[in-house]
A and B are shown apart, each in its own frame.
Chain A
Amino acid sequence: EPEVTQTPSHQVTQMGQEVILRCVPISNHLYFYWYRQILGQKVEFLVSFYNNEISEKSEIFDDQFSVERPDGSNFTLKIRSTKLEDSAMYFCASRKAGYMNTEAFFGQGTRLTVV
């Protein structure tokens, strides 16, 4: 069964460093997302991406964050200068199309620890 895959599963980085989280969405999906979950808190929306551009972003997604689809399969989230409060589980998700009628499928997540 097709699935969303994320790498790495766990990343530890020093404060101020840049990190890139990688995702391979399901191959025939067109809508891509990043969410995050700080330990013990709700899953929060960060950004959605469609047709090679950001379609929506939350107030969390500031200038320190960027997303890219560098080729036909990968979808990345870059955090330019990490802060301690960026420590969280980051989830990538994708939808086939027509969000009204389609499920969102999530990857297993990347646990980011900023020290």
Chain B
Amino acid sequence: KQEVTQIPAALSVPEGENLVLNCSFTDSAIYNLQWFRQDPGKGLTSLLLIQSSQREQTSGRLNASLDKSSGRSTLYIAASQPGDSATYLCAGVKETSGSRLTFGEGTQLTVNP
């Protein structure tokens, strides 16, 4: 069974700091991995999709990497801002389980002004 784990569960940083969020998955047979942002009580906003053939994707201040062999993905946020405060979720599509996304528990990020 595919399990997705995110560490840390919560992170508080001062504004302007660069930070890394971690995501690990137990089964390396994944098609792709997607990072989402969730604001309190709100929906999921897609940030980045990394296909299994890719090693990283960038969007603005965000960079996500994927290492299938080690079962890990990271989301790097550069020059963090208070508006980045949210919960960040990673989710993978496993090769043998259709097209469902399996989610981690999320990392709750607080960026302090």
Report A's interface with B, CB cutoff 8 A.
6, 31, 33, 35, 42-45, 48, 55-56, 58, 89, 91, 93, 95, 99-109, 111
CB distance B44 to A33 under 8 Å?
no
CB distance A101 to B43 under 8 Å?
no
A59 CB to nearest chain B CB (Å) = 11
CB distance A103 to B42 under 8 Å?
no
CB distance B99 to A48 under 8 Å?
yes
6 A-B pairs with least C-beta separation: A99-B99, A108-B43, A106-B44, A56-B98, A43-B103, A45-B100
Q: Does B56 lie at the interface of the complex (its beta carbon under 8 Å from any beta carbon of A)? A: no
List of A residues within 8 angstroms of B83 by Cβ? none
Report B's interface with A, CB cutoff 8 A.
31-32, 34, 36, 41-46, 49, 51-52, 89, 91, 93, 97-106
List of B residues within 8 angstroms of A55 by Cβ? 98-99
Name B48's closest neighbour in chain A (CB-CB).
Answer: A103
From A43, A104, A108, B46 is in contact (CB under 8 Å) with A104
CB distance B103 to A100 under 8 Å?
no
From B42, B43, B51, B105, A100 is in contact (CB under 8 Å) with B51
The complex places the Cα of A103 from the Cα of B32 at a distance, in Å, of 9
